[in-house]
Amino acid sequence: MPITTVDNLASLRRIVEDGEDDLVLVGADADLDLALELAAESRVTHPCVGVILLRRRVDSAVLRDALRAGVREVVNGDDLAGLREACERSLEVSRKFRELTGSVHVAEQREGKVVTVFAAKGGTGKTTISTNLAAALSRAGQRVCLFDLDLAFGDVSIVLQLQPSRTVADVVSLSRIDEAAVRSLVTPYNDTLDVIAAPLVPGQYEQIEPRHVTDLLTVAKRLYDVVIVDSPPAFTEYVLAAFDQTDDFLLLATLDVPALKNLKLTMETLDLLAYPRDRWHVVLNRADAHVGLLPSDVEQTLNMKIAAHVPSSRAVPDAVNRGVPVLIDKPKHAVSAAVTALAATLVSNVAVPERKRLRLRVRQSVGATA
Ligand SMILES: Nc1ncnc2c1ncn2[C@@H]1O[C@H](COP(=O)(O)OP(=O)(O)OP(=O)(O)O)[C@@H](O)[C@H]1O
Ligand SMILES: [Mg+2]
């Protein structure tokens, strides 16, 4: 095991800070107060690091002060066998500690992600994309929560033909927003998809505060793999609260100048709010509409690649009229394939649709023969 020797506290602090070493041996002649100061500090800032104190004489006063400061062991400077054992014990404690804190990390990493679907212009397809994306992720076995944050005019419940007995408006009567509270608010669509419905009566949302949105999302992230937020076409204070919790922004565009202008303004606002661009994904809805603008014009104007092209199809309103997202009604439809491919870019374990795989394979074989 590599050993680094230092002769002052500042260098030792730097080494502890690096986090590479798990054991500090303080020499028998080193200043006791400085050694105790370091132990007390690293116990809080780097609890994996063990400090062992060597002393010429080990008396009860030194032992007491050392233990109070968080020194793991005090060993007589001449007792080499005792020192070896103390080092082994301390390294074992550090190993277990690292395992434990490692598993805490894993638990933290398992927190779900929040995906917000937004466009500052109405009617661009936010609800269509949110509901189908939720269906795609749920079909892939993800635990999904779809939060209808269009508090005044939300229509997720209608699109999915749900009859919620509780909605987000009930959040105001909760004394605490914990996991049980979130579970009590959702309306299940199927085994892996729950919906937090918008209030059924317009105006009922006025009691809701932005902090409720923050708390609901914070807790929902712990319960679900993905929380999808469908939003109103405006930067409301609720939307801004959701943005703060958002991992991925799906910014909807359509091939018309007003939608493009609004998206450009949205991007400028997101820039001002300092949400990093690598979390933005432009989704072009009705991407095949022949209206003069081309997808390449959109990319040029926005200076950003389009992450997903969702075609226009009658199957979308038809499915809505039947109360089933097109993704469930017709999973192989081009709209469903585009949304599933989008889902795969957001969450790694979603299978890429057959259609796309086929195209990739064809391209590869063309490449191979060229
Ligand atoms: N790809 C598509 N092909 C055909 N119709 C579509 C498509 N996307 C959306 N639509 C239709 O366009 C209309 C508006 O879509 P949607 O409700 O999803 O937009 P929105 O952005 O949520 O609107 P709002 O701002 O009012 O909430 C709906 O009737 C929907 O069925
Ligand atoms: Mg909508």
Which residue's CA is minimally distant from atom 1 of ligand 1? 312
Half-sphere exposure in the Cβ direction for 208 (13 Å, CA):
27
Are 118 and 240 within 8 A, CB to CB?
no
pLDDT of residue 204 exceeding 90: no
Per-residue model confidence (pLDDT) at position 156: 97
Give per-residue pLDDT as tens, 78-124: 999 999 999 999 999 888 887 777 644 444 446 899 999 999 999 99
Q: Which residues surround ligand 2, an ion (CB under 5 A)?
A: 126-127
The angle subtended at Cα 305 by Cα 281 and Cα 118, nearest 5°, is: 25
3-state secondary structure 68-127: HHCCCEEEECCCHHHHHHHHHHHHHHHHHHHHHHHHHHHHHHCCCEEEEEECCCCCCCHH
Q: What is the pLDDT at residue 350? A: 58
Of 198-207, 213-222, 267-276, 312-321, the range with the lowest mean pLDDT is 198-207
Q: Which of 117, 127, 286 to mutate to test the pocket of ligand 1 (most atoms within 8 A of CB)?
A: 127
Q: What is the pLDDT of residue 136?
A: 96
Q: How far apart are CA 29 and CA 6, in angstroms?
A: 13
Average pLDDT, rounded, for the chain: 88
Residues 51/42, Cβ–Cβ less than 8 Å: yes
Q: Residue with structure tokens 């992600």?
A: 113
**What pLDDT score does 186 carry?**
96
| Residues forming a β-bridge with 281 | 250
Q: Which of 33-37, 218-222, 235-239 has the lowest mean pLDDT?
A: 33-37
User: For the segment 130-151, what is each residue's pLDDT rounded down to a tens digit?
Assistant: 999 999 999 999 999 999 999 9
Nearest of 8, 22, 86, 21 to residue 53 by alpha carbon: 86
Kindly indicate the confidence band of residue 203, based on its pLDDT and cuts at 50, 70 and 90.
confident
Q: Is 308 left (phi over 0), alpha (psi -120 to 50) or beta?
A: beta
* Ligand 1 nearest atom to the CA of residue 121, by list position: 25
* 96-113: b (≥16 Cβ within 10 Å) or e: eeeeeeeeeeeeeeeebb
pLDDT surpasses 80 at 316: yes
Q: For position 291, what pLDDT does the model report?
A: 76
**What's the pLDDT at 69?**
87
From CA 129, how far away is CA 118, in angstroms rounded? 10
Q: Which alpha helices (H) appear in 140-187, and where do they start and end?
A: 156-159, 179-185
Mean pLDDT of the 247-275 span: 94
Q: Exposed/middle/buried for 78, CB within 10 Å: 0-12, 13-18, 19+?
A: exposed
Which residues fall within 8 angstroms of residue 301, CB to CB, at 6 or more apart?
260, 264
Determine the distance separating the centroid of ligand 1 and the alpha carbon of 128, expressed in angstroms: 5
pTM: 0.70
Q: Select from 118, 124, 128, 313 the residue to mutate for testing ligand 1; criterion: most ligand atoms less than 8 Å from CB.
A: 128
What would the mean pLDDT of 327-347 be, rounded to a whole number? 94
Euclidean distance between CA atoms 113 and 110, whole angstroms = 9
**Cα(158) to centroid(ligand 2), Å:** 11
Name the residue with the closest Cα to ligand 1, atom 8.
125
Element (H, E) at 15: helix 9-18
Give ligand 1 pocket residues (Cβ under 6 A).
Answer: 119, 122-128, 150, 233, 285-286, 310, 312-313, 316-317, 320, 335
d(CA 210, CA 263): 24
- Ligand 1 atom closest to Cα of 128? 18
Tell how many helices (H) and how many strands (E) occur in the chain.
15, 11
C-alpha to C-alpha distance for 133 and 145, rounded to whole angstroms: 11
